[in-house]
Structure 1
Amino acid sequence: MSVRILEGVEYAAEAGYRPLLLDLYLPPVDAAPVVLFVHGGGWQRCTRRDFGHEFAGWRPSPFERIAEAGFAVASVDYRLSGEARYPAQLDDVRAAVAWLRGHGAEHGFDASRIVAWGESAGAHLAALAALTGPGIAAVVGWYGVYDLAAMPDPADPASREARLLGAPPGDVPELAAEASPVAHVHPGAPPFQLWHGTADRFVPMAQSERMADALRAAGVPVEFRQVEGADHIWRNAPDVAGIFAGSLDFARGVRT
């Protein structure tokens, strides 16, 4: 299957900031459902071209492989925490969803079925967008942050969470709750698939456990998969290809 790639498509422009761009990977089929990929990097680094450390050498790229499976893929940049504080990042992901819904006919994809797939900080933003706004049919979250106040060192002003919020989560509990997906879980939310390594040194696996518990309590379909021995960004994961395949299978299951 031949995948067409459109790089650097502008999806939003906020006054005073750089244009916000996405890359599109388009399969040669009509009305393809969409995977919206949101990169990680602690809200402070990485770009739309980063799928994750362990996938850097994949050829074809993970984006192309998802497109080869019959999805249109939109991988998005968003404002980083050094550029703007929360909720700018959430606003940007929402803007990307709106752009996809408004430009599906132009590019030949069906944006009525969007699977948001994120890793680390991107999983946080994908989950938050799915729980607080329309347009997302399902979420794949890899080693995400779902409860900012429950992260290690909530009083540390140099933490990634503090840089996102503009203050340590412990100092701004209401804002930290507002920025936490676990606080927005509700009946009728889209289904989730959550993955986390048991040896994650940067985002404790308890983050995904807490999120899965909240989803189950609300009656929301959720798969929670622990990856034994895996650290953050899937370092030491025994089967990275299997994790990718399992996530793609989940996306296939909700695309129609």
Structure 2
Amino acid sequence: MSVRVLKGVEYAAEVGYRPLLLDLYLPPADGAPVVLFLHGGGWQRGTRRDFGREFAGWRPSPFERIAEAGLAVASVDYRLSGEARYPAQLEDVRAAVAWLREHGGEHGFDGSRIVAWGESAGAHLAALAALTGPGIAAVVGWYGVYDLSAMPEPGDPSSREARLLGAPAGDVPDLASEASPVAHVHAGAPPFQLWHGTADRFVPMAQSERMAEALRAAGVPVEFRQVEGADHIWRDAPDVGAVFRESLEFARGVRA
């Protein structure tokens, strides 16, 4: 039996906004954990169909490969910063978690074992959801933003972070802290696997370094992997396939 795909499943409907949709990729066997995949794009672009530019030509797609390896996948859309400001994006991720927990049995996966896997802005949302609410058993974060105030030019009103928050992070420090995963690290948080390229020009690798340090200090299991020479979205990565495979192996090891 091959991977089953259900596209355009509505998981939430906020009044005044478009319906929020997810695509499900279901493995042949029932009872599998589920990957909640959150796309990147600086909170201002991207869709549930995006796994990242370096994977655009993969056939089967990365989503299908995860399902072939025995995990379900739910790749979700969330409200972008041009539609709604923070915390709308976090609320959408929490709604997706609730939907997966409620509907897992209906679709044959285990909604109590959710791995949040995100890239860039999606890694930020995956980490934030895992640290501030229930339901997520592990996190895979690729080149994520974890401390908004520590991003370059925190006073720039045109930055991606300013568009997310509605003001430059330097002007709204309390809100920027609230929206930063590093501020919510606590003992008992789920395990993390963090990846970052050493040559990332858009999100400094220090973001993942600081997050890993905070997790270790709190006693949270964390793996931090540096990818030598890789830029953002894995440009110039020496072996993006290895990054994918090791991330998948981490996700496969999830426990409720």
TM range (shorter): over 0.9
Structure 2 vs 1, CA of residues 58 and 255 (structure 1 numbering), >3 Å: closer, same or farther?
Answer: farther
* 1:106-255 map, 5 Å: 106-255=106-255
Contact 1:115 1:255 in 2 (8 A): no
**Is 2:33–2:254's contact at 8 Å kept on the other side of the alignment?**
no
Confirm or deny that 1:18 pairs with 2:9: no
CA distance in 1, matches of 2:253, 2:26: 20
The answer to whether the Cα contact below 8 Å between 2:193 and 2:223 also exists between their aligned partners in 1 is yes
Once the two structures are superposed, residues 69-88 of structure 1 have per-residue CA deviations (whole angstroms, 9 ceiling, x without a partner) of 10110000000000000000
| Distance in 1, Cα, partners of 2:138 & 2:66 | 15
- C-alpha displacement at 1:252, in angstroms? 1.3
Letter in 2 for 1:63: F
Distance 1:27 1:106 in 2: 14
The DSSP-based 3-state class of the residue aligned with 2:28 is: coil
Deviation at 1:251, TM superposition (A): 0.7
Query: Aligned partners of 1:70, 1:35: CA distance in 2, in Å?
Result: 11
Name 1:82's counterpart in structure 2: 82
- Cα deviation, 1:55-94, whole Å, max 9, x if unaligned, reads 0000000000000010110000000000000000000000
**CA–CA distance in 2 between the matches of 1:28 and 1:253?**
18
> Which residue of structure 2 lines up, in the alignment, with residue 42 of structure 1?
42
CA RMSD of aligned residues (A): 0.7
Q: Give the secondary-structure state (helix, strand or coil) at the position aligned to 1:170.
A: coil
Q: Deviations over 1:7-30 (max 9, x none)?
A: 000000000000000000001111
| 1:222 Cα deviation from its structure 2 partner | 0.2
Q: Is the 8 Å Cα contact of residues 25 and 72 (structure 1) preserved in structure 2? A: yes
Q: Structure 2 counterpart of 1:201, which letter?
A: R
Gaps of 5+ in 2: none
Distance apart, 1:255 and its partner CA:
4.2
Cα distance in 2 for residues equivalent to 1:231 and 1:183: 26
Tell me the secondary structure at the aligned position of residue 201 of structure 2. coil
CA shift digits 1:15-62 (9 cap, x unpaired):
000000000000111111100000000000010000001000000000
Q: 1:243 & 1:98 partners in 2: Cα distance?
A: 29
Say if 1:42 and 1:121, in contact at 8 Å, map to a contact too: yes
CA distance in 2, matches of 1:132, 1:170: 23
Give structure 1 regions of 4+ aligned residues with deviation exceeding 2 angstroms: none
Partners in 1 of 2:227 and 2:183 — Cα distance?
25
TM-score when normalising by structure 1: 0.99
